Amino acid sequence: MKRREFLVSSAMGTVGAAVGHERLTGMTREAQARPPVRKILIAGGGFGEAFIRYMGMLTGKERPRLCYLPTASADSQSGTISWFRSCAPLNVTPFVQESFIASTRQDKGWDEVLLSMDGIVCSGGNTLNQQAIWKAQGIDVVLKQAWDRGIVLGGASAGSLCWFEEGTTDSRPKVLSTVQCLGFLKGSHSPHYDREPGRRPLYQKLIGSGEMKPGYACDNDAGIYFEDNTVRRVVSTRADAKVYYVSVVGGRVVERVMEPERIA
């Protein structure tokens, strides 16, 4: 090869390498700039061992740190015991963050605890009280930060309803009513769709009249995995448990069955 040809070839090789490096660096920067996937796993009722195992898988961690947040149950001790029992056979590290606390016995803020977790499971119970306490304490703000960071959120009953804009609740005396929630997931939600007789007719009535936005109804033992606001998977731990999307089509209320996959 002549000297001139060699110099041109060398220069082109240097430029090519530089361009390749720039493309690779640009792709790396783009990947780094891409926001984490926001994940929520809900069940209509019964967030037991199978759902906890699935949440652990969704974190992508070998032994994920999962925190139980039992605000809706007024920090029920029986719920906490059930949580540790459900986690015992799983490859997870379980924690509990109570809401009825005193600064004399808790020296970490809500953010220090919750944002150090890989997943957060919210208990069932009184959704209205749960929302009021979270807002008074600023826990709602921390949960939004957790969601935005890709920490997997979830739960059943009040622990599923809390993530939506609105839904049906038994949080008040005498009759089922409506509740406004965090609004991470757009639309409405009805848990316990097959177990509490008043749930289905009320949910259909509210959506049919336009008083409530269309949304997702879940039987006990059935649930949905969302990424952002997209349904990625419908799951259940019981053969006849279903999930429905309830909306108005042609002037009438329609339940569209979303067949779940079994998880164990």
Give yes or no for a contact between 219 and 241, defined as CB atoms under 8 angstroms apart.
yes
Biggest CA pair distance of the chain: 95
Distances (CA, A) of 94 to 7, 63, 67, 221, 227: 63, 10, 6, 21, 23
User: What is the helix (H) or strand (E) element at residue 226, kind and residue range?
Assistant: strand 222-227
Distances (CA, A) of 126 to 16, 20, 161, 192: 63, 57, 10, 14
Catalytic residue, chosen from 157, 160, 190, 236, is 157
Catalytic residue, chosen from 123, 188, 192, 236, is 192
21 is catalytic: no
Hey, what are 264's tokens?
């164990």
In sequence order, the 6+-apart residues with CB closer than 8 A to the CB of 46 are 156, 220, 221, 237
Spatial separation of the C-alpha atoms in residues 27 and 34, rounded to whole Å: 10
Strands laid side by side in the 164-169 sheet: 177-180, 164-169, 185-190, 215-218, 243-249, 252-258
Which burial class, exposed, middle or buried, applies to 25 when counting CB atoms under 10 A from its CB (0-12, 13-18, 19+)? exposed
Hey, what are 48's tokens?
């037991």
Active site residues: 157, 192
